[in-house]
Homo-oligomer: A and B are copies of this chain.
């Protein structure tokens, strides 16, 4: 079930084809600040996904969305959690309310709030 690992490997190999020599396990691990063998194991699901710091680093290196990658790892970023914790009741209500709403409804909120009709 280690969707995370598979995804990272796939994405890395994809980039490796375009720019070989820059996306080896060793190179990426070095950039992400971890050991190559560790990354290798993660990619093959032999180790669970790494910590938040490392996931975000990987996301940036691989030009992926950090929140999406964190989600694949079964996590929610600390900074989002912090926002929720400041006003737990309100955010809990909003999130639960939006739980089953279609994507376009969420997009509408983002748009309307951003455009300041509030």
Which residues from chain A sit less than 8 Å from chain B, CB to CB? 65, 67-68, 70-71, 74-77, 80-81, 83-99, 101, 103, 105-110, 113-114, 118
Contact = CB atoms under 8 A, between A and B. Distances in A.
Contacts of A91: 80, 95, 98, 106
Contacts of A86: 71
B80 A96 contact: yes
B88 A109 contact: no
Nearest to A76: B81
Contact of A110 (B67, B70, B88, B93): B93
Nearest to A92: B67
Contacts of A89: 65, 67-68
B85 A76 contact: yes
Q: Is the interface of A mostly helix, strand, loop or mixed?
A: helix
A37 B35 CA distance: 42
Contacts of A81: 75-76, 81
B77 A106 contact: no
A89 B65 CA distance: 8
Nearest to A106: B90
Contacts of A109: 94, 97, 109
